[in-house]
Amino acid sequence: MSAETRPRRPVSNLATPLPEPTPAPTPAPPPTPLTREKRPFLLDFFPLETADQTRLSRFFERLKEGVVSTTRCPKDDLLLWPPRTACPLCHGETLEWVDLPGRGHLYAFSAVLGGAPLGMESEVPFAVGLVDLEGAPLRLFGRIEGRPWNELHIGQPVRLESYDIGDGRWFYRFRTEV
């Protein structure tokens, strides 16, 4: 069959009745606001804290008491941060809990001025930083509260504090001393 004699495929068939219009879908309910209590799990920066969720629940229990703690391997005399359930050197699981010093000095900091993580948009601008603890060989990362980010300086004294994130869970942050 040549191209000239091939029957042309109809572009449309007007004899076929048009389908009945489908009813408009029921409008979806408005999305639930992403509050601290309703963050999607994968965007939740705060760990599940209870003993049935983590073997580090002791860390969060101490936070509720106002103390930041961590684990230490007595065999290696090694202070671990963040707290762990096993020593990375000897792989031993016989670790002890120790309370961390409550004060330190700002080693470095930065400010979040935009593009905040989901659920933290209303908190912009805020500061984050690295803090050298007094009397412990640890440099911790965390939020820096107390002064605007543009009034912070390297070496600024800060203290560790714990706080309720709003849904019963607790976390730590730093606050400037002055």
User: Which residue of 55, 64, 75, 139 would you call a contact of Zn ion, by CB under 5 A?
Assistant: 75
- Contact between 158 and 177 under an 8 Å Cβ cutoff? The reply is yes
- Contact between 151 and 133 under an 8 Å Cβ cutoff? The reply is no
> Cβ of residue 53: shortest distance to Zn ion, in angstroms?
25
Region binding Zn ion by CB under 5 A among candidate stretches 34-42, 44-52, 66-74, 150-158? 66-74
Of 50 and 94, which has the nearer Cβ to Zn ion? 94
Region binding Zn ion by CB under 5 A among candidate stretches 34-42, 44-52, 84-92, 145-153? 84-92
Region binding Zn ion by CB under 5 A among candidate stretches 6-14, 46-54, 88-96, 130-138? 88-96
Round to whole Å and give the CA distance between 1 and 32. Answer: 62
> Cβ of residue 41: shortest distance to Zn ion, in angstroms?
32
- Does 74 bind Zn ion (CB under 5 A)? Our answer is no
How many other CB atoms are found less than 10 A from the CB of residue 50?
A: 11
Of 38 and 75, which has the nearer Cβ to Zn ion? 75
Q: In this structure, what are the phi and psi dihedrals at residue 149, rounded to the nearest 5 degrees?
A: -60, -35
- Tokens 């572009």 correspond to 11
What's the order of all strands across the beta sheet hosting 96-99? 78-80, 69-73, 96-99
Instruction: Write the secondary structure of 66-127 as one string of H (helix), E (strand) and C (coil).
Output: CCCEEEEECCCCEEECCCCCCCCCCCCCCCEEEECCCEEEEEEEEEECCCCCCCCHHHCCEE
User: Which residue of 90, 113, 118, 124 would you call a contact of Zn ion, by CB under 5 A?
Assistant: 90
> Cβ of residue 92: shortest distance to Zn ion, in angstroms?
5
- Does 76 bind Zn ion (CB under 5 A)? Our answer is yes
- Does 89 bind Zn ion (CB under 5 A)? Our answer is yes
By rule CB under 5 A, what count of residues binds Zn ion? 7
- Contact between 176 and 146 under an 8 Å Cβ cutoff? The reply is yes
Residues engaged in binding Zn ion (CB under 5 A): 73, 75-76, 87, 89-90, 92
